[in-house]
Structure 1
Amino acid sequence: MPDGEVCQIERGRPVLSKGAVPSIFPERLEMVASVCFVPHCKTGYNSEITKNKKEGIPNPPLYQFPRDPEMFSKWARQIKGRDRKPTVTDRICARHFQSECISRFFETKLSNGTVDRIERLRPCLKRGAIPTIFPNPPNRLIF
């Protein structure tokens, strides 16, 4: 292979040359947020995860903003005090949903009429769930 070539075609597929080194880097990689989008909520922050682990408290699940434009707008209108608008990759934790909005079990009605319930490993939101619980922010913010 001539000097300076980064790859060659072998069997119809590009193959990196021996000693090739990456030299093109995107300016900014998009990171998916794994913290709660609600202002002053600490869910997802390392300090909160560590604290909960020490206290034996499970971390609340985070739910991604809906892709449906109508539901997305309903969620976005609920959140006040952010300096930016949410995107579909932002998340809101379970602390901001009424308990009846969260499905914690798989339920199946058996032929004898009884309902069999199996706990979900990951609770999920029920259809149409909208965040409605937003505790008051701290009186003083330290900058």
Structure 2
Amino acid sequence: MKLRRPPPPGPQAVTYRCAPATVAAGRQVITLIDGRDHVVGHLDYQVCHPCRAAHINTITIAGPWQGLGLGREALHRATDPWSAYAWTTSRQSADGRKFFAAMADETGMEFVPGAVGCPHITAPPRGSTPGGALL
């Protein structure tokens, strides 16, 4: 298992607000907020404990905030408690492929793109809505 590197220097004014799932395998959202209370990014994901599976639905960081380690930190906040789970992602853009390849190298975890997750995650989440504003 690889060790987590210290985060790169980034804006100190960014906070991470977490909205946990309200149902089993429901959507969870980490929203990134700048010092002016503007949303600068989010990570939307689901975790299924019985299947030991997890899925990243979306990760978005606003253009000017990219390259500062914010997506990296959000991903660690989501995955660290469940690093032994099998993680999948939605289909990835070219930038997404680079990001998840770097994160796979750093964490030793695989982030399988477009893979079919467990039946609890692939089923539409009932009564589950992401918390916080999305970009």
User: Which protein is bigger by CA-based radius of gyration?
Assistant: 1
- Taking structure 2 as the reference length, what is the TM-score of the superposition? 0.23
Larger RCO (CA within 8 A; separation ≥ 6): 2
Structure in which a larger fraction of residues adopt strand: 2
